[in-house]
Structure 1
């Protein structure tokens, strides 16, 4: 079998994965706190026919070798955690992380999830939870039923205004978590990530301290997907896919010609 068929086949597989990655970015262009991904490519093993530097004659060496590649593959899909744009909502439970850090969320099994999505709501007990699944924020903060307004400071202090009281009452303190390698976090859907061996353990602290970002109440971080950039990447990936398809067609014509003529 002609090796170019297998080489172009690996190129087709790689570009299919690339298009799937780009399409997921585009599908989440409006998802709050979403971080775009990119496919990481790597060339495959080479068939070493002539080693560069090998002796060509008694007094000379080969300046370059003869090594035939076996194609390409996608070895990773890497998250880009650059800051998204700020969207002003004026909702007291919309909280944006301005800088590094993740909110910690308590999962149903007791483990921790981490998110950049600061769209929060209150459940029937007045506890701050995620909007989609109702997972509580860590540390857990409960808002009194008679609270007239909620204030979240830039360094995480949560206070409420109670009717009949002159001063706000502090009800909790928000914290943030950061990781040495955020790209090593495992996305699990619902705008949540989980810790892995590659990400390192969470480094917890107060917002604005030790390099962590500040909190902005009444604002949300939009997706960091650049739609124009993704469409350009999609066109490029389509063209590469077409070129690999043309290689398959060309090799097929060559083999057909040999079969017909011999």
Structure 2
């Protein structure tokens, strides 16, 4: 019996050393998860027959953060796996967030070119109910869009000089208004239009606002529109006000038609009015891309605009320990793992995706060195039992 027990111990210790060696070898592998050996005894009736390796499990604990070297590098902080497919459509899962763009614009992992999957955006909008598939970053130019609505914010000085009704407002005469601000809008072809907005203090708590598309004035009243503002004792507008600014066609574009909300207060601070927000854009060339902390892939254009083109999907399992290792830091679904459930960064039990970061291996080299010493001693001890059993048998053979 001693030989079989010792041999089983040698085999188990050797397999344990294989696992330790694999952990140490992958201590610098991005997204690698350390393995650990489970042992079980072997019995025949009441007689112990030795030991066996019951299984090798993986520690799916979080690895430390590391700075990525690519705009498409990403890290999952918390639960979840990146979902990838190969050319044949087979699905794999992994934690290695080293991705790049292939020649066709698809996001693929660097180790074996598998396609990262997620939701593709339509006109910058993600539809979570859309079909999950390979993510592609389009490099098309951003087309122009006309500005149709915007707003200005700021403050008008309450004790600014009051300008009488005469002389009549004249944009060429600075004595007929207190302040002028400018808003930049775009037309249907992406041409920029300077919208001039003039503020006239007509009485306590009362102002008149004149506005014009100075680039391409409309035909009526030289394109000027006006509205009257009245502020309460709290410095807020008594009624919401807006300006409907209409220009003329410009360089072949459609006429600008912009509704500008006046989100203005009045108090003793100096007058300062600025653009709050405005839609529309000039045409833009594709410049670059990045991954946000919500897992959205964002294209960056030369006109300063950014547009979401896709969102990365994460997968998780009821029993991640039941996944089958496929090499290259990949796992595949099994009956033991259960079917995957999908989600996005930060949703429910899913972790957060951090763009520009990578998850380091979770191998603890100190623990592995200690384990290696323990398994080595275990191997030596089992070999010693075989040696002792051999000596006992030799003694029996030598009996006369």
Per the TM superposition, whether the score is higher than 0.5 is: yes
1:261 matches 2:366: no
Question: Secondary structure of the equivalent of 1:70?
Answer: strand
Structure 1, unpaired ranges of 5+:
49-67
1:32 matches 2:30: yes
Aligned to 1:162: 301
Greater C-alpha radius of gyration: 2
How far did 1:125 drift?
Answer: 1.1
1:105 matches 2:105: no
The answer to whether the 8 A contact 2:291-2:356 is kept is no
Choose between structure 1 and 2: higher strand proportion. Answer: 2
1:9 matches 2:7: yes
How far did 1:182 drift?
Answer: 0.7
More displaced, 135-144 or 207-216? Answer: 135-144
The answer to whether the 8 A contact 1:35-1:223 is kept is yes
Aligned to 2:52: 73
Q: CA–CA distance in 2 between the matches of 1:19 and 1:247?
A: 19
The answer to whether the 8 A contact 1:154-1:208 is kept is no
Q: CA–CA distance in 2 between the matches of 1:216 and 1:238?
A: 40
How far did 1:231 drift?
Answer: 1.0
Question: Secondary structure of the equivalent of 1:71?
Answer: strand
Pick one of 351, 362, 367 that aligns with 1:213: 351
Q: CA–CA distance in 1 between the matches of 2:3 and 2:135?
A: 60
How far did 1:147 drift?
Answer: 3.0
Q: CA–CA distance in 1 between the matches of 2:356 and 2:293?
A: 11
Q: CA–CA distance in 1 between the matches of 2:375 and 2:71?
A: 42
Pick one of 290, 293, 302 that aligns with 1:151: 290
Question: Secondary structure of the equivalent of 1:240?
Answer: helix
Choose between structure 1 and 2: higher helix proportion. Answer: 1
Q: How does 1:66-145 map to 2 (within 5 A)?
A: 68-89=47-68, 91-139=70-118, 140-145=134-139
More displaced, 153-162 or 220-229? Answer: 153-162
Q: CA–CA distance in 1 between the matches of 2:90 and 2:374?
A: 41
Q: CA–CA distance in 2 between the matches of 1:252 and 1:132?
A: 50
How far did 1:195 drift?
Answer: 0.3
Q: How does 1:218-233 map to 2 (within 5 A)?
A: 218-233=356-371
Q: CA–CA distance in 2 between the matches of 1:69 and 1:223?
A: 38
Structure 2, unpaired ranges of 5+:
119-133, 140-284
Q: CA–CA distance in 2 between the matches of 1:77 and 1:108?
A: 30
Q: CA–CA distance in 2 between the matches of 1:155 and 1:71?
A: 52
TM (norm. structure 1) is 0.88
Question: Secondary structure of the equivalent of 1:149?
Answer: strand
Q: Deviations over 1:93-120 (max 9, x none)?
A: 1100010000001023211000100000
Q: Deviations over 1:180-239 (max 9, x none)?
A: 111111110111100001111111011101110001111100000011111110110000
The answer to whether the 8 A contact 1:117-1:191 is kept is yes
- Count of residue correspondences: 240
How far did 1:90 drift?
Answer: 5.4
Give me the CA root mean square deviation. Answer: 1.2
The answer to whether the 8 A contact 2:23-2:363 is kept is yes
TM (norm. structure 2) is 0.59
Aligned to 1:47: 45
Aligned to 1:179: 317
The answer to whether the 8 A contact 2:295-2:354 is kept is no
